[in-house]
Structure 1
Amino acid sequence: MLFQKSLLRELRSTSGGVLAVLLTTLVTMILIRALGRAASGRVDGELVVPLIVFNTLNLMSTVLMLTVYISVFMVLSRWWRDSEMVIWLSSGKSLADFLKPVWRFMWPMILLVALMSTLVAPWSKQQIAAFEDEIQNRSDAQRVSPGQFRESYSGQRVFFLENPDDEGGRTGAVFIRSIDANGRQSVLVSSTGKFEKDLEGQQWIVLERGYRTDLMPGYWETQTTGFEVYRFRVDHAARGVKSEETIRSAPTLTLFERTEPVAQGELALRVGLPLLTLGLGFLAIPLAVTQVRSGRAVNLLLALLIYLIASNLFSALTATVTQGRLSFEMAWWPLPTLLLAITAAMMWWRMR
């Protein structure tokens, strides 16, 4: 009883620290990417936090799986390094006695992985897709930010506006570079401008007191024209068109009803992650066996190598199902079963 309590207590405390480190690393990486998109104008600043939250939830199943694997390996490695394991083995314990407390530590985490992979991750992907739709369904006027260059949805214009007024629709100085269907480049500069809507709801940019410079392709001559008022239509993305429900964001129960390879591959991924967590958690027990004189470097490298091989092999199996070259039944259980078989073989070899 004392043996199991001490092991469980240390596993749970270690897993909290490991989870905090992994989450911090993950959120930092997502934050950097989201801030990069916001700085380039592809995402509004107010959408950065929701995107970070939903992307983090999407990857939580992998984070929890890594937490289980690293926690078991770290705790048992420390026991071997500090000769604490020698005391327990001398008292009649064996590596097989570690299976029960490790399982008691793992099963709530495995349930969380299953919950994240089958329910939370698809829901978070739906929310991310909804935000992407909202971003894509904005007009050029809504995308303009003061002091930053913005490209239109058509890719034919680049805007630079000073101090856009969201309420009045007026701006400071305006710079616009455009290319027409014939390849002619035009640069428009005005001291002021404003956004207007016509009776049909179409939005226009009205430039006041400026110049237009045209350059034909293949010619060095330019033509400059002054104007008092210049109007052109604002590009819009296709409004009201939502992206279709993708396989990756489809509910898990829906995937069971679909027979196409893409759906079967996604289903194998969601079902296989909890089992992969189980296999890696038990495999960490014999991997942590360390000879005090030889150090931990070999075990650390071996543990890292096995995780990389297992995760990449699992991804390859699910991708093969997606391509229609492997059935669903042969993708989600063979790898976890192989890991459990390797665990049994290594424990038998260690206990000889």
Structure 2
Amino acid sequence: MIIRRYLNVQILMSTLAVLVTLFVVIAGSRIIKYFYLATQGKLDVDLLMSLLMYQSPAFLEFILPLSFFIGVMLSMGRMYIDNEVTVLAATGFGPHQLLQGMFPVTAGMLVVSALMTLYVTPRSNYRAEELFAEQAARNTFEVLRPGIFQPLDNGQVLYVRSVSEDKKRLQDVFVYGAMQAGQRGSTELRASRGFLQNDPHTGARYLTLESGERDELLPGYKKLQRIRFDTYSLLLTEAPPKAVTMVKTLTGRQLLQHGNILNMAELYWRLSLVVLVPVVAILALSLSRVNPRQGRFLKLLPGVLLYLSYIVALLMVRQSFEKHHATLIAFVEVHLGYAALSLVLLFQRPLQLAWQHQQARFERR
């Protein structure tokens, strides 16, 4: 009992350390991306932390099996280097007992992975997509930065000298864009003032300019065509954003209820991430066996490469499933193949001894 508790604590601590490290790296890269969008005026800075919070479960869902795999390899590798496993083996605590001793922490990781993949992550993804939709539906001026050329959703570029405190009115507006489809050339709009209008019937949004000029620059003409106007409306978006219906926002039950090919592929992929946990536990235990002079990091890189090959195989099966080239059996075959490989590596020494014993008996006959 004490040995099992010690074993599970060591694995859990190593897993948490790896999990935090990987999460910081991934979250940091995502924060950089969000800050870039904010500087481009495509994302409100106030939404950064909310988006990161709602997308964190998606990060954890994917890195949890990898963190557990590396955590088992590091903790068991240290025990091999310190000859702790050798002492345990001398008392009859072999690979089978080590595998049984890891059951509590493996079962815990499996339950957490199932909750994350089948419910928590889809709910968080749904809320994150809602935030993106709300951001797209918000006033364009709310994320507008004065003094910066900002691309609009319709392909045009907007520049303003100043924005009112309520983010509703603009001063000294400049808009540049291409002509309509099928026409060559470009247009430039300059106005002293501007404001946003919404069409209550269609949901379209217009930028209305006041007291300005419109120049048409046509190729082959030396003179531009200039039109002065008192009021000019520019279409920004034709319709409000669509409702969130992405596959990644559906829970496991919803995927099962709407059982089309894409939903079932997503469901089998999520279940594969859950099955991944016990398989990589056996694989990590088998790869962690090292000599004291070799160091516990000797097999870490080959182990990670083997883990990545497991993930790539599942992704390939998922793509084939989406194209009707594979069935559920293909997912099962991948898991059974890597599980068999893990068991062979784990019990390699007992299997070799049994084989040598059988050969010796055959030779004596």
Match of 1:214 in 2: 216
Count of residue pairs the alignment pairs up: 346
CA distance in 2 between counterparts of 1:22 and 1:273 reads 17
Contact 2:282 2:346 in 1 (8 A): no
Contact 2:265 2:322 in 1 (8 A): yes
CA distance in 1 between counterparts of 2:59 and 2:197 reads 43
Q: In the alignment, residue 206 of structure 1 is paired with which amino acid?
A: L
Taking only the aligned residue pairs, the percentage that are identical comes to 20
Deviations 1:20-67 (A, max 9, x none): 112211211211122222222222222222221222212322122122
Match of 1:264 in 2: 264
Are 1:44 and 2:44 an aligned pair? yes
In the TM superposition, what is the alpha-carbon distance from 1:297 to its structure 2 partner? 5.4
In the TM superposition, what is the alpha-carbon distance from 1:180 to its structure 2 partner? 2.5
Q: In the alignment, residue 36 of structure 1 is paired with which amino acid?
A: Y
SS of 1:59's equivalent in the other structure is helix
Contact 2:162 2:171 in 1 (8 A): yes
Q: Which runs of 5+ in 1 are unaligned?
A: none
CA distance in 1 between counterparts of 2:198 and 2:106 reads 63
Change (3 A) 1:49 1:220: farther
CA distance in 2 between counterparts of 1:332 and 1:325 reads 12
Match of 2:170 in 1: 171
CA distance in 1 between counterparts of 2:200 and 2:251 reads 40
Change (3 A) 1:220 1:142: farther
Deviations 1:333-352 (A, max 9, x none): 33332232222211221344
Match of 2:193 in 1: 193
CA distance in 1 between counterparts of 2:317 and 2:215 reads 58
Match of 1:279 in 2: 279
Change (3 A) 1:67 1:204: closer
In the TM superposition, what is the alpha-carbon distance from 1:98 to its structure 2 partner? 0.6
Change (3 A) 1:232 1:6: same
Match of 1:72 in 2: 72
Match of 2:35 in 1: 35
What are the residue-to-residue correspondences of 1:75-154 with 2, within 5 Å? 75-138=75-138, 140-154=140-154
Structure 1 moving runs of 4+ over 6 Å? 198-202
CA distance in 2 between counterparts of 1:33 and 1:57 reads 18
| RMSD, aligned α-carbons | 2.6
Contact 1:55 1:128 in 2 (8 A): yes
Change (3 A) 1:170 1:78: same
CA distance in 2 between counterparts of 1:228 and 1:323 reads 55
Contact 1:138 1:237 in 2 (8 A): no
CA distance in 1 between counterparts of 2:12 and 2:225 reads 74
In the TM superposition, what is the alpha-carbon distance from 1:133 to its structure 2 partner? 2.2
In the TM superposition, what is the alpha-carbon distance from 1:160 to its structure 2 partner? 0.5
TM-score (norm 1): 0.88
Contact 2:74 2:296 in 1 (8 A): no
User: Which deviates further from its counterpart, 296-305 or 90-99?
Assistant: 296-305
In the TM superposition, what is the alpha-carbon distance from 1:263 to its structure 2 partner? 1.6
Match of 1:314 in 2: 314
CA distance in 1 between counterparts of 2:20 and 2:331 reads 29
Match of 1:20 in 2: 20
SS of 2:194's equivalent in the other structure is strand
Deviations 1:250-279 (A, max 9, x none): 221122234422121111011121111110
Match of 1:344 in 2: 343
Q: In the alignment, residue 51 of structure 1 is paired with which amino acid?
A: L
In the TM superposition, what is the alpha-carbon distance from 1:237 to its structure 2 partner? 4.2
Deviations 1:47-101 (A, max 9, x none): 2222212222123221221221111110011112222222222233212211122
Match of 1:301 in 2: 301
SS of 1:108's equivalent in the other structure is helix
In the TM superposition, what is the alpha-carbon distance from 1:105 to its structure 2 partner? 1.2
In the TM superposition, what is the alpha-carbon distance from 1:121 to its structure 2 partner? 1.6
CA distance in 1 between counterparts of 2:63 and 2:206 reads 46
